[in-house]
Amino acid sequence: MTTDREQFINELTMDVTPVTSANTRQSTLFWLGGAFTFAAILALLTGPYRTGIGHDLMFSIQFLVESLVGLASVILLIYTAFEFAIPSSRSISRRLLLPLLGVSIWVGFYLLGLVHPALEPSMAGKREFCYYETFVFALPIMFAGLIWARKQWPLYPMSTGLLIGLASGFVPALIMQFACMYDPQHILTDHILPGLSVGVVGALLGLVMLRTR
Amino acid sequence: MISSKQTALWEKDEQRWSALMKQSQAGDASAYNQLLSELGSVIEAYLRANFGPLAILEDCVQESLMALHRARHTYDAKRAFRPWLFTIIHHKTIDVLRRSETINRHISSFAELDQNDIDHVDLDRMIDGERLMANLSQDQREAVTLTKYHGMTTNEAAQLLGIKESAVKARLRRGLKLLQKQWQQEWVES
């Protein structure tokens, strides 16, 4: 070992401070808890939830399943995003497969709903600005995710940002499933679409915020 | 063929580094010093084996050690140590090589400009080359730069980029084809 390196290591280790080891599962749980609480409260503050949600969940299996698939997609998206922030030799494309498949299935349910809706399409509970609400509610959640990832060691800034953005966009989109009117076409254009656009914003912000190496 | 003795040694190293890192995360300076000293030699051997005699080898080693220091909180003792370690080294080395390449390019550009008897045709070619390279995709530019500028083999470039050799060859072929096409097109237009 060169003297130069020895000195370098001595300087690095001299004042080493204890650090808390990153735990992606725990962080995912914290983020999910915070994100859903935040979006649910904001949705409640900006308007009432649709009536009869409990009944819809109990008596329409398709509605229950599409809501659960949406939740599973958000969990997969944010967990994968947080895993991307930890150095690992696992293939990026394989790791992207599962969350993106989840999103595709979720969107697929609404496409199916265009011909075979889970509930009778209705204007009941319609919110005037649900498109903007979905987008705006997602932004603070997205920033919280990006800040967490920035504190780790993200090797793929754009993909990590995209996944965080999508997860953040889909949290209020999923809340709107209960807080706004039920019509698959409306859900696709006014809830899912702003969620997807938050994904694009996340990818762009990831390029800026997560290039910290 | 890997012998059982080598496997046992490999396992022993893995466990020791993992334990040392765990102690380091708790703030144990001597464990951390021992870990970084051992890893310094491992990184040096890895770089020599993968990239040959690098002029900036010591820079790469120290930059990698610094990266490990900054990323030490991302190590989870429940996971394998080596993939975590080599992913950081791999990415850090690419960063250092890219940076050094950019610096070298600037230095050589300035050095050429300093010459009194500057050959304007060569200068035009140099600027033209950089301009044409800018039109390539990031992947293609990396493949062309590593093989044609740094003189690496496609196998070495593949190891550095962490992709298959066939992918490097494909990127190189597409990149060179595009360069040739652009150059021919501009030549015909002029």
What ipTM does the predicted assembly reach?
Answer: 0.80
Kindly list the residues from chain A whose CB atom is less than 8 angstroms away from the CB atom of residue B28.
16
- Contact yes or no for A87 and B62 at CB 8 A: no
pLDDT of residue B21: 93
The average pLDDT across B137-147 equals 81
Residue A13 has its nearest CB partner, among B32, B87, B88, at B32
pLDDT surpasses 70 at B173: yes
Kindly list the residues from chain A whose CB atom is less than 8 angstroms away from the CB atom of residue B67.
213
pLDDT of B56-108, one tens digit each?
788 888 889 999 999 999 999 888 899 999 999 888 888 887 877 766 666 56
Is any Cβ of chain B less than 8 angstroms from the Cβ of A16? yes
What pTM, to 2 d.p., does this model score? 0.74
Give the least confident one: B41-45, B99-103, B149-153.
B99-103
pLDDT of residue A6: 87
Model confidence at B129, pLDDT cuts 50, 70, 90, reads low
pLDDT of B17-34, one tens digit each?
999 999 999 989 999 999
pLDDT of residue B110: 54
pLDDT surpasses 60 at B125: no
Q: In chain A, which residue's Cα lies nearest the Cα of B66?
A: A12
For chain B, percent of residues with pLDDT exceeding 70: 77
> Distance from A31 to chain B by nearest Cα, in Å?
18
Instruction: Show which residues on chain B lie within 8 Å of chain A, measured between beta carbons.
Output: 24-30, 32-33, 36-37, 40-41, 58, 61-62, 65-67, 69-77, 79, 83-84, 86-88, 91-92, 95
The set of residues, in sequence order, having a beta carbon less than 8 Å from that of A212 and lying 6+ positions away, is A150, A154
In the chain, the amino acid numbered B48 is R
Torsion (CA) A7, A11, A12, A14 in degrees, nearest 10: 130
> Distance from A141 to chain B by nearest Cα, in Å?
22
Q: In chain B, which residue's Cα lies nearest the Cα of A84?
A: B74
The set of residues, in sequence order, having a beta carbon less than 8 Å from that of A181 and lying 6+ positions away, is A50, A122, A123, A124, A125, A126, A127
The set of residues, in sequence order, having a beta carbon less than 8 Å from that of B60 and lying 6+ positions away, is B43, B47, B54, B92, B93, B96, B97
Model confidence at B123, pLDDT cuts 50, 70, 90, reads very low
**Residue with the larger pLDDT of the pair B31 and B166:** B31
According to DSSP, residue B163 is labeled S
pLDDT of residue B38: 92
> Distance from B48 to chain A by nearest Cα, in Å?
14
Give which of B42, B47, B74, B98 to mutate to test A binding, by max A Cβ within 10 Å. Answer: B74
**pLDDT by residue for chain A (213 residues), tens digit each?**
666 888 889 888 888 889 988 889 999 999 999 999 999 999 999 999 998 889 989 999 999 999 999 999 999 999 999 999 999 888 888 899 999 999 999 999 999 999 999 888 888 888 989 999 999 999 999 999 999 999 999 989 999 999 999 999 999 999 999 999 999 999 999 999 999 999 999 999 999 999 865
Number of residues assigned to chain B: 190
